[in-house]
C-alpha cells in the first residue's frame, strides 16, 4: 500500500476500506470497494501487507451460529459485571458483637470457676488458703486520714494525666505553645507542658505517700512478706471469678490478690511510668541519648493502660463487695454504719469530672504564663 505525508508532517498510509451490509436487499456491500489514507501509528510497518476484512454475512434469525468462537463461552474482552461493594458493619453492630462476646466469656469463666470450686481438691485448697494473709490483717483495717486525702489526690491527678496524655498524642496542630523564659526558642505544646506539670505533682504526691507509708507501718498492707501470698492470691482470684468473693470478715484487710495488685501498681508500674515519662519529657538532658525515646514511648502507653484497667477493677470491687462499708473506710476512716462515704465518693467524682472538662488550652494558658511563655501558632 502507498504512503504519504500531509503538509503538517503527519505520515499517512493507504488502507482497504472496510465494507458493511448492503443498503438494499441483494445489493453490493456498502461502501463501494476502495482505499483510504489514515494516520500511521508508531508501530505500523508501511511495507507490511494490509489484512483484508471479509464481507460480513447475515444469518437467519434463530439459526445456530456457524462461528466456532460463539460456542467457546463469553468473549474475554467483556469485563464482568461489577460486584456490589461489601459494606462494613456499623459501629452499633460492632459494639453489640463485642458486648455479646464479652458476656459469653463472662458466662464461661463463671461457670468454669464454679465447677472447679465444686471439686474436693480445689475446695480443700481454698479452705487452706482463704485469700487473706496474716501480715495484711495485722496492718489493721482502719485507713488513716492522710491516706484518704492522698488516695483522692492520686486519682484526681491520674485522671488528668491520662486525659492530657491522650490529648497530646492526638493533636496535630497545637492551639498554643509553652516555653521557658530562659529559652523562648525551644517550645512544646501547651498540653504537653500541662501533662508534664501534672506528672510532677503526681510524683510529689507519690513520694509523700511512700514516706508516710513506711513511717506509719501501713506498708504491711501492700508489701508481701511471705510466699503464702501467691496461693492465697490464686484462691482469691478463683473466688472472684466464680462471683463468690471472700466473706466481708476475711476481706476487711487487703486480700492477697489486692496486696499483689497494689504492690505492683506502687512499686513496679509507677516507677516505669516515671522513668519512661521522664525520658520523653522536656526535662531530659539533650545529650543523654543512650536510652532511645522510642523505647520509652513504647513502654509509657501500655503502663497507662495498666493504670486504667487497675482503676476500673479496683472501683468495681469496691462497689460490688460492700459499697457502703468500703466507701466509709476510704473516705470516712471508719467502717461504721453511716452515709458519709456514699456522699463523699460521688462528690469526688463530680470534682474529677469538672477538672477533666476544664483542662483545655483556654483554661490552662493563664497558669502556663505564670511559669513560662505561652504563645499561639
Which value, to the nearest 10 degrees, does the dihedral of the CA atoms of residues 61, 62, 67, 73 take?
130
pLDDT at 253: 66
User: pLDDT value at position 336?
Assistant: 60
pLDDT of residue 69: 46
Beta-sheet pairing, 35-39 with 11-16: antiparallel
pLDDT of 154 over the 90 cut: yes
Of these ranges, 39-53, 92-106, 122-136, the one predicted with the greatest mean pLDDT is 92-106
pLDDT of residue 158: 95
Q: Which three cell numbers stand for residue 212?
A: 508516710
Answer whether residue 96 shows pLDDT above 70. Answer: yes
Given this model, what pLDDT does residue 317 score? 82
Task: Report the percent of the chain where pLDDT is more than 70.
Answer: 78
The conformation of residue 26, written as its DSSP 8-state character, comes to T
pLDDT tens string 195-230:
999 999 999 999 999 999 999 888 888 888 889 899
Residues 281-289 have a mean pLDDT of 84
Q: Could you tell me what percent of the chain has a pLDDT over 90?
A: 34
pTM of the model: 0.69
pLDDT of residue 302: 94
What is the average per-residue pLDDT within 68-96?
63
Which of 92-96, 138-142, 233-237 is the most confident on average?
233-237
- Whether the predicted pLDDT of 50 surpasses 70: no
Identify the residue whose cell numbers are 521557658.
Answer: 180
Position 153 confidence tier, pLDDT thresholds 50, 70, 90: very high
Q: Over the stretch 327-338, which tens digit does the pLDDT of each residue have? A: 887 777 666 667
Least confidently predicted of 73-82, 145-154, 251-260, 296-305: 73-82
Q: What is the DSSP string of 76-119?
A: TTSPPPPPPPPPPPPHHHHHHHHHHHHHHHHHHHHHHHHHHHTS
Look at 64 and 288; give whichever has higher pLDDT.
Answer: 288
Q: Is the pLDDT of residue 7 over 70?
A: no
In the predicted structure, residue 118 carries a pLDDT above the cut 60: yes
Report the range of poorest mean pLDDT among 1-10, 142-151, 159-168, 349-358: 1-10
pLDDT at 34 over 90: no
Which residues does 215 contact at the CB level (< 8 Å), separation at least 6?
none
Mean pLDDT rounded to a whole number for the chain: 81
Nearest to 359 by CA among 175, 150, 172: 175
Strands (E), the chain: 3-5, 11-16, 35-39, 177-179, 187-189, 373-375
User: Residue 56 — pLDDT band, cuts 50, 70, 90?
Assistant: very low
Q: Is the pLDDT of residue 115 over 90?
A: yes
Q: What is the predicted pLDDT for the residue at 74? A: 52
Residues of 154-182 as b/e, b for ≥16 C-beta within 10 angstroms?
bbbbbbbbbbbbebbeeeeebebbbbeee
Amino acid at each position: 500500500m502507498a504512503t504519504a505525508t500531509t503538509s503538517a508532517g503527519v505520515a499517512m498510509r493507504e488502507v482497504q476500506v472496510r465494507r458493511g451490509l448492503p443498503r438494499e436487499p441483494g445489493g453490493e456491500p456498502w461502501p463501494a470497494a476502495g482505499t483510504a489514507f489514515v494516520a500511521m501509528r508508531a508501530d505500523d510497518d508501511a511495507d507490511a501487507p494490509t489484512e483484508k476484512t471479509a464481507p460480513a454475512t447475515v444469518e437467519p434469525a434463530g439459526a445456530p451460529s456457524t462461528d466456532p468462537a460463539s460456542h467457546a463461552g463469553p468473549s474475554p474482552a467483556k469485563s464482568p459485571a461489577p460486584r456490589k461493594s461489601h459494606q462494613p458493619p456499623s459501629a452499633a453492630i460492632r459494639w453489640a458483637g463485642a458486648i455479646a462476646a464479652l458476656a459469653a466469656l463472662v458466662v464461661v469463666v463463671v461457670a468454669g470457676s464454679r465447677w472447679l470450686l465444686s471439686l474436693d481438691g480445689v475446695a480443700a485448697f481454698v479452705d487452706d488458703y482463704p485469700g487473706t494473709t496474716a501480715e495484711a490483717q495485722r496492718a489493721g483495717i482502719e485507713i488513716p486520714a492522710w491516706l484518704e486525702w492522698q488516695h483522692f489526690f492520686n486519682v484526681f491527678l491520674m485522671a488528668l494525666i491520662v486525659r492530657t496524655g491522650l490529648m497530646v498524642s492526638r493533636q496535630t496542630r497545637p492551639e498554643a505553645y509553652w516555653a521557658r523564659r530562659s529559652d523562648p526558642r525551644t517550645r512544646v505544646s501547651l498540653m504537653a507542658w500541662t501533662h508534664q506539670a501534672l506528672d510532677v505533682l503526681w510524683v510529689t504526691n507519690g513520694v509523700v505517700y511512700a514516706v508516710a507509708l513506711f513511717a506509719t507501718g501501713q506498708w504491711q498492707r501492700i508489701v508481701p512478706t511471705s510466699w503464702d501470698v501467691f496461693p492465697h492470691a490464686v484462691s482469691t482470684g478463683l473466688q472472684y471469678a466464680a462471683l463468690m468473693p471472700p466473706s466481708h470478715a476475711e476481706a476487711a484487710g487487703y486480700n492477697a490478690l489486692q496486696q499483689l495488685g497494689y504492690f505492683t501498681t506502687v512499686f513496679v508500674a509507677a516507677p516505669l511510668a516515671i522513668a519512661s515519662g521522664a525520658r520523653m519529657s522536656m526535662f531530659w538532658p539533650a545529650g543523654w541519648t543512650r536510652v532511645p525515646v522510642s523505647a520509652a514511648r513504647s513502654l509509657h502507653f501500655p503502663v497507662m493502660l495498666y493504670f486504667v484497667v487497675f482503676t476500673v477493677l479496683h472501683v468495681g470491687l469496691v462497689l460490688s463487695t460492700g459499697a457502703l462499708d468500703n466507701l466509709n473506710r476510704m473516705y470516712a476512716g471508719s467502717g461504721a454504719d453511716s452515709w458519709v462515704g456514699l456522699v463523699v465518693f460521688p462528690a469526688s467524682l463530680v470534682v474529677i469530672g469538672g477538672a477533666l472538662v476544664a483542662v483545655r488550652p483556654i483554661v490552662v494558658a493563664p497558669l502556663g504564663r505564670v511559669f513560662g511563655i505561652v504563645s499561639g501558632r
